[in-house]
A and B are shown apart, each in its own frame.
Chain A
Amino acid sequence: MYDSSLRDPDKLATGAMFAQARLSTVFSGRSSHADVLRSDGPLVLRKSNPKGAEPLTHRRTDIARVALAAGTAGPLGGDAYALDVRVGQGSTLLLQEVSAMLVLPGVGGEQSRMTITVNVEAGATFVWWAEPIIAAHRCHHLHDVRINLAADARLVLREEMLLGRHGEEPGDFSSRLRITRDNRALYDQRLSFGPATRGWDGAAVLSGNRAVGSVIVVNPDWSDTPPPAQPYDLSAVCAPLAGPGVAISAVAPDSLALRGLLHDGLNTLGAPWAI
């Protein structure tokens, strides 16, 4: 439900924006549809059509497709956005985005936050085919994503982060993606870069690359035999997690190269994941 307590009057005075959007899907017996589609200010949720090739759900008409669009520029420093997603029992949701998200600085250098929580219920499938997040110069942003999967739920998601716009040094950016399955940790990675972080430009982390991302696939059918590790490029790997999932991880000089590497990795998994 809409929670007005999140609107902190002190912060509103600086022009900061608070938003809490909600999305929920149900399975009717034949198809899935969104039963809650609550947009809020900058977070605009719309039923949508396929944008292009999709893993797992390509050309399917019995799934719920929703696009997240930006109602305003941002987030800007000081803004706090929250998106709450429930993929109801047995339903399939494809969540996509209309455009990349550009994270911008606020007036006084305050931190902006985007908090996304997803609950994927029993027998449900969540395909999150997001567009890149661009960390603009002098931004200060925390992107926090928590996904809990039921033991037999499926997931495929793409996350891409770009270090600044073209020819621009990135601001301070930190992104955490935590996936639990049956309330047990499966994947938890936080990536930070920007002037306040040390060592991110070194050979252990990004080594001068301007784009970094991953594709995470969780498939309960892999409980016995997860796909083998495949370092299919010098800058990318498809690696089995300590559970029925894989993490495809890549770094690249730019967004186009990153997208190519991530999709190459997805395609090593074959049907129905390949696109």
Chain B
Amino acid sequence: MLDRIAGQQAALLLLADGRLPAGGYAHSGGLEPAVRARRVRDMADLEAFLIGRAETAGLVAAAFTAAVCARAIQGDLSDLPELEAELDARIPAPELRKVSRDLGRQLRRAMQSIHPHEDFVQLGAAPHQPLVMGIAAAALGLHPTAAALAILHENNSGAAAAAAKLMPVDPFNVHAILARMTGRLDELAAYAASFAHEPAADLPSPGSPLADIAAEHHRRSDVRLFAS
């Protein structure tokens, strides 16, 4: 896997960087509602939350990113509508489908300016974030495994960064969690990319019931720091 990433490290860092102006900073990846519901109260809870999220919603996003990246490299994006429907079917909470499409729209807007590519035009009006990420990754010369790692890292570090604003934490401890997760994120990226050439229906579909439930509560919350 490292061989496949080698050569495009800088592009991978660019795409996975939380400072990429694509709106990710406005989201806590479900951490804010989890803290508010008192399901995340300490560092152990935070670590379990981040791991659970990476293994479920993270893996789904990574698998779809890798699949779209592989199709873009091959120059055949004909099953994008099916990928959209399959991803919708894997996100039961309407609020999280909306968040994914909001982030996708913002990422496309950013990347069309930063590194334009004709494939972005093939996406609909509000494409899911992983589909945009897959095309952006391919446009930057990344392979599916690197594309999967980019979205896993971006989503994971974004949620971890939100912790500093939501609960009393030592930022070193938060980054210690991220450091402990690096090996597993590599494994998840490789696993996600192993489906890159499979039909859309066969992509992984791990669910996260409490993330779905919390997202709908969060949308109705009057006072919130993060959009999700």
Contact = CB atoms under 8 A, between A and B. Distances in A.
Interface string A87-114: 0000000000000000000000000000
A205 interface: yes
Contacts of A242: 85, 88-89, 91, 94, 97
Given A178-B205, A190-B205, A239 B216 contact: yes
Contact of A176 (B88, B184, B205): B205
A236 interface: yes
B62 to A, nearest CB: 14
Interface string A226-267: 000111001111011111000101110000000000000000
A115 interface: no
B10 to A, nearest CB: 31
B216 A237 contact: yes
B184 A198 contact: yes
A95 to B, nearest CB: 23
Interface residues of A, number: 41
Contacts of A203: 34, 37, 39-40, 45, 48-49, 52, 210, 214
Given A176-B205, A199-B54, A207 B94 contact: no
Contacts of B97: 242
Given A198-B51, A199-B55, A251 B90 contact: no
A203 B31 CA distance: 9
Contacts of B206: 189-192
User: Do most interface residues of chain B lie in helix, strand or loop, or is the interface mixed?
Assistant: helix
**Chain B contact patch, size range:** 35 or more
B213 A199 contact: no
Contacts of A251: 209-210, 213
Most buried by B among A186, A188, A190: A188
B53 A186 contact: no
Interface in A58-106: none
B93 interface: yes
Contacts of B16: none
A91 B182 CA distance: 53
Contacts of A197: 55
B92 interface: yes
19 contacts: A179-B89, A184-B85, A185-B201, A190-B204, A190-B205, A191-B206, A197-B55, A203-B40, A203-B49, A204-B57, A204-B210, A212-B209, A229-B95, A231-B213, A231-B220, A234-B37, A234-B217, A241-B89, A250-B213
The list of the 7 closest CB pairs from A to B, nearest first, reads A199-B52, A202-B48, A202-B52, A199-B51, A203-B39, A242-B88, A185-B89
Interface of B: 30, 34, 37, 39-40, 45, 47-57, 82, 85-86, 88-95, 97, 184, 200-201, 204-214, 216-217, 219-220
Interface of A: 176, 178-179, 184-192, 197-207, 212, 214, 229-231, 234-237, 239-243, 247, 249-251
